[in-house]
């Protein structure tokens, strides 16, 4: 029988055997962000289309080509969010968070939607971890946000990741840079693709972000933005670099970084890998001091970053980065007969309420099939409950890997099993810490 449909192109299912990796990342990132003072915010998956047209920018590929936009039943134009910053800023303004203690620091884990050509590291539905810092104009805030991203990668154990930074200036000094770009590219139109020629008058900086190989030679000779920075922007950029140096965070200045969204000002940055193909930017962000005003609010200097979860997982797998395994079944109780099945349900429920991952049969298998199932799900312990165990009030519990057994009472089974499993867990954790380098202890402390 054929399926009536499959997953939509550019989307993917995360199956139970793999979802623990996502959960580990989401918890690790939100926990680390919390240490930096960032608290979680949750915003709707769709917004009024004008939010992204104004916030993200009408000259960007995201707005022009990639948004999932539709009219709802009330005739309003609605768009599935293509990124997280505009929605977070809208929530900040709408709910008057500017009246709270500043800066306001928020983080989020969200799904995003862009109609792009699916390829490795690029999906039409993808997920991001992001942070936003509202109400901070100091270069110290820029350095702190970069340090947060760096801390996440360090905790996870990512290697060979390159931090590239740039300043694209404020609107005043960037206007001069735009004039220089129009002059240069205007004299080299033959070396640009049709899309870049269209961008020339509307937003010439978008040309620098072109991935068309035909444009690369022309782009290589273009003026660099750092030559046009005003004194304030230059001093701000120097302040960011001094703080990164003080924190021993290595970086490479790349004057070609402009980022793909129009709201950026001054500091922009990317964490880039050469190990996952063309889509090597794992994290990108920067400052967007004019976004609040663009959305109708007062001036609120702000900055943040977005980290692609799918791309980070690709990189982790390429580098064989260890991830704490999901919690396994600690005990499987096989039941023989109706009375034993009822008693097994009671025991398993008590175990679960005490925080122990435990299972028993719910499909009517034979005892032999139940034990086979316990082995397949990697249960740590198993036990068979039948008429004789019900009469004696005791049950034999067996450790699945080495066959070690212990007899426990049915009446106080949960308490006795807790004592048994704690002894086993302590031994396993001690062995794990002793057989790995010291860095693994951070995983043990936080996730086991």
Domain parsing of the chain, residue ranges: 19-170+230-318, 331-429
In eight-state DSSP terms, residue 325 is P
What gap in Å lies between CA 416 and CA 424, rounded to an integer?
13
In sequence order, the β-bridge partners of residue 127 are 111
Q: Which CATH class is domain 19-170+230-318?
A: alpha beta
Is the pLDDT at 442 greater than 50, yes or no?
Answer: no
Is the pLDDT at 428 greater than 50, yes or no?
Answer: no
What gap in Å lies between CA 404 and CA 381, rounded to an integer?
9
Structure tokens at 438: 């010291």
DSSP string, 9-24: TT-----TTTHHHHHH
To the nearest 10 degrees (0 to 180), the angle between helices 139-156 and 19-35 is: 140
pLDDT digits (tens, 9 = 90+) for 190-225: 888 888 888 888 888 888 878 788 888 888 889 999
pLDDT digits (tens, 9 = 90+) for 294-307: 999 999 999 999 99
Structure tokens at 85: 């910053």
Same fold, 19-170+230-318 and 331-429: no
DSSP string, 379-420: -SEEEEE-HHHHHHTEEEEEETTT--EEEEESTTHHHHHHHH
pLDDT digits (tens, 9 = 90+) for 130-158: 999 999 999 999 999 999 999 999 999 99
With contact defined as beta carbons under 8 Å apart, do 277 and 120 qualify? yes
Q: Which CATH class is domain 331-429?
A: alpha beta
DSSP element (H, E) containing 278: none
Q: β-strand 358-360 against 381-385: which pairing, if any? A: unpaired
At 70 the three-state DSSP class reads strand
Write down the pLDDT at residue 213: 80
Is the pLDDT at 429 greater than 60, yes or no?
Answer: no
What gap in Å lies between CA 282 and CA 306, rounded to an integer?
9
What is the reported pTM?
A: 0.87
């Amino acid at each position: 029988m054929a399926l009536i449909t499959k997953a939509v192109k550019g989307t993917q299912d995360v199956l139970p055997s793999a979802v623990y990796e996502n959960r580990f990342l989401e918890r690790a990132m939100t926990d680390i962000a919390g240490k930096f003072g960032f608290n979680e915010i949750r915003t709707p998956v769709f917004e009024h289309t004008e939010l992204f047209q104004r916030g993200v920018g009408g000259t960007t590929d995201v707005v022009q080509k990639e948004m999932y936009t539709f009219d709802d039943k009330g005739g309003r134009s609605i768009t599935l969010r293509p990124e997280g910053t505009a929605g977070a800023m809208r929530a900040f303004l709408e709910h008057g968070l500017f009246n709270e203690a500043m800066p306001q620091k928020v983080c989020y884990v969200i799904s995003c939607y862009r109609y792009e050509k699916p390829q490795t590291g690029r999906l039409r539905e993808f997920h991001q971890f992001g942070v936003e810092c509202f109400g901070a104009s100091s270069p110290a805030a820029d350095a702190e946000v970069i340090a947060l991203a760096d801390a996440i990668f360090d905790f996870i154990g990512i290697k060979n990741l390159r931090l590239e930074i740039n300043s694209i200036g404020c609107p005043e000094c960037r206007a001069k840079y735009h004039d220089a770009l129009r002059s240069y590219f205007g004299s080299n139109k033959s070396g640009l693709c049709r899309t870049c020629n269209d961008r020339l008058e509307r937003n010439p900086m978008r040309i620098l972000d072109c991935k068309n190989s035909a444009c690369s030679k022309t782009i290589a000779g273009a003026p660099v933005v750092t030559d046009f920075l005003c004194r304030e922007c230059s001093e701000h950029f120097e302040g960011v670099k001094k703080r990164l140096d003080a924190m021993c965070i290595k970086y490479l200045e790349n004057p070609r970084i402009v980022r793909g969204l129009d709201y950026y000002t001054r500091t922009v940055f990317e964490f880039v890998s050469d190990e996952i193909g063309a889509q090597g930017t794992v994290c990108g962000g920067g400052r967007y001091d004019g976004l609040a005003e663009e959305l109708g609010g007062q001036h609120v200097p702000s900055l943040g970053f977005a980290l692609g979860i799918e791309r980070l997982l690709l990189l982790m797998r390429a580098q064989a980065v260890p991830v704490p395994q999901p919690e396994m079944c600690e005990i499987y109780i096989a039941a023989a007969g109706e009375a034993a099945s009822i008693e097994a349900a009671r025991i398993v429920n008590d175990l679960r309420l005490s925080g122990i991952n435990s299972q028993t049969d719910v499909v009517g298998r034979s005892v032999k099939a139940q034990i086979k199932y316990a082995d397949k799900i990697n249960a740590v312990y198993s036990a068979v409950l039948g008429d004789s165990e019900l009469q004696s009030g005791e049950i034999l519990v067996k450790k699945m890997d080495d066959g070690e057994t212990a007899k426990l009472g049915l009446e106080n089974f949960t308490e006795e099993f807790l004592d048994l499993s704690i002894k086993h867990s302590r031994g396993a954790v001690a062995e794990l810490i002793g057989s790995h380098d010291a860095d693994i202890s951070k995983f043990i402390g936080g996730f086991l």
